[in-house]
Amino acid sequence: MNTLLPTTVVGSLPKPSWLAQPETLWSPWKLEGDALLEGKQDALRIALHEQSRRGIDIVSDGEQTRQHFVTTFIEHLSGVDFEQRKTVRIRDRYDASVPTVVGPVRRERPVFVEDAKFLRATTDQPIKWTLPGPMTMVDTLYDDHYKSREKLAWEFAAILNQEAKELEAAGVDIIQFDEPAFNVFLDEVKDWGVAALERAAEGLRAETAVHICYGYGIKANNDWKATLGSQWRQYEETFPLLQSSSIDIISLESQNSHVPMDLIELLRGKKVMLGAIDVASETIETPEEVADTLRKALQFVDADKLIPSSNCGMAPFPRDVALAKLSALSAGTNIVREELARRVS
């Protein structure tokens, strides 16, 4: 990638209303069978077109082919019973009805590989694909078999590694693992979380990323954020571990958050995917606001290692808001690119 400050989107984009109910997490599909497959591919084409047209450099499927960033992956595994649902507290924050692990977990067939091939065939731009991280998967289930979060995480890590290797073979440039749970279970991150993540990324030649955030802009997350005080310092515990890990890119939340910017110094040497777009507010950032966030970050990360992005996925937004935010991200990044170019010339 030759572009300085290549922009990207963390994960999801809103789906078209003919495909799924807008502004809703876990929204059911409106189509079935072949029509659903065709609908997902059309939605992916649109997501790709909008990213490209609005100046996003590293593009993704906008998660148009999945219902949810964690459960869709789990649905494809054996050993998990989706009929047997239990209500558990996830991310230590809100109750959700989740499936139950009833036996050994296994990936019987590839989950996203065909979708990734379709994306690869549809664009020449670098592509990024997101997978849930092992700890976040464990935290989105009820486990009635392994009875150990760590054991189950290692099983998931091995499964994710199989999938990641096939995504790499399909031409994916960056494989990103989403680990919002890393901001909640800090002791587990130390004990086994980072090790399980490295296992999921083991042996990959594609670049690897981990996304750690404070969650989608939904009420339960916003209420939780209100309890975290004036400085959010969770990253202070995890960044040193990630700095010495095998993961190439660390994705974090910044815009309108209370994360002290100097914490990214703890990642020195790694690439930093910095959230310069807020996903908790529908107010569209001005290009100058985006630029200001990037300038602050550049005090602590080298310019050739900064990847401007959104704080998190944008699935819960109205579509026009999410798309306008993509444009703001590129416009703000362009301001800083020009400043950097002037500095070296």
**276 interacts with Zn ion by CB under 5 A:** no
As measured in angstroms, the least distance from the Cβ of 250 to Zn ion is: 13
| Encoded amino acid at 223, one letter | D
| Encoded amino acid at 234, one letter | Q
Query: Is the Cβ–Cβ distance between 294 and 333 less than 8 Å?
Result: yes
Q: Choose between 175 and 213: whose C-beta lies nearer to Zn ion.
A: 213
Query: Is the Cβ–Cβ distance between 195 and 242 less than 8 Å?
Result: no
**315 interacts with Zn ion by CB under 5 A:** no
Query: Is the Cβ–Cβ distance between 13 and 62 less than 8 Å?
Result: yes
**252 interacts with Zn ion by CB under 5 A:** no
**152 interacts with Zn ion by CB under 5 A:** no
Per-position x/- string for 120-149, each x denoting binding to Zn ion as judged by CB under 5 A, each - no binding: ------------------------------
Show Cβ contacts of residue 252 under 8 Å, excluding neighbours closer than 6 positions. 211, 212, 213, 235, 259, 264, 272, 273, 274, 275
The piece of 106-114, 122-130, 306-314, 336-344 that touches Zn ion (CB under 5 A) is 306-314
The piece of 138-146, 162-170, 269-277, 308-316 that touches Zn ion (CB under 5 A) is 308-316
Q: Choose between 312 and 328: whose C-beta lies nearer to Zn ion.
A: 312
As measured in angstroms, the least distance from the Cβ of 130 to Zn ion is: 10
- CA–CA separation, 287 vs 278, rounded Å? 13
Q: Choose between 273 and 336: whose C-beta lies nearer to Zn ion.
A: 273
As measured in angstroms, the least distance from the Cβ of 182 to Zn ion is: 11
Task: Tell the burial category of 344 from Cβ atoms under 10 Å away from its Cβ (0-12, 13-18, 19+).
Answer: exposed
The piece of 70-78, 183-191, 195-203, 310-318 that touches Zn ion (CB under 5 A) is 310-318
| Encoded amino acid at 184, one letter | V
What are the two backbone dihedrals, phi and then psi, of residue 204, each rounded to the nearest 5 degrees?
Answer: -80, 140
Per-position x/- string for 172-211, each x denoting binding to Zn ion as judged by CB under 5 A, each - no binding: ----------------------------------------
**213 interacts with Zn ion by CB under 5 A:** yes
Give the distance, in angstroms, between the CA of residue 323 and the centroid of all CA atoms in the same chain: 17
Q: Choose between 105 and 201: whose C-beta lies nearer to Zn ion.
A: 201
- CA–CA separation, 177 vs 70, rounded Å? 10
Q: Choose between 126 and 133: whose C-beta lies nearer to Zn ion.
A: 133
As measured in angstroms, the least distance from the Cβ of 213 to Zn ion is: 3
Q: Which tokens belong to 184?
A: 């909640």
Q: Which tokens belong to 315?
A: 């699935």
Closest among 85, 57, 59 to 71, alpha carbons compared? 85
As measured in angstroms, the least distance from the Cβ of 166 to Zn ion is: 24
Sign for the pseudo-dihedral over CA of 22, 314, 235, 245: positive
**9 interacts with Zn ion by CB under 5 A:** no
| Encoded amino acid at 126, one letter | P
As measured in angstroms, the least distance from the Cβ of 10 to Zn ion is: 6
**312 interacts with Zn ion by CB under 5 A:** yes
As measured in angstroms, the least distance from the Cβ of 285 to Zn ion is: 17
Residues touching Zn ion, count (CB under 5 A): 2
Q: Choose between 210 and 213: whose C-beta lies nearer to Zn ion.
A: 213
As measured in angstroms, the least distance from the Cβ of 180 to Zn ion is: 5
As measured in angstroms, the least distance from the Cβ of 214 to Zn ion is: 8
Beta strands at 306-310 and 271-277: parallel, antiparallel or unpaired: parallel
**274 interacts with Zn ion by CB under 5 A:** no
What are the two backbone dihedrals, phi and then psi, of residue 323, each rounded to the nearest 5 degrees?
Answer: -70, -40
Q: Choose between 189 and 336: whose C-beta lies nearer to Zn ion.
A: 189
- Helix ranges (H only) for the chain are 33-53, 71-75, 113-122, 134-138, 149-169, 186-188, 194-200, 219-226, 234-243, 287-297, 319-344
Which residues in this chain contact Zn ion in the complex, by CB under 5 A?
213, 312
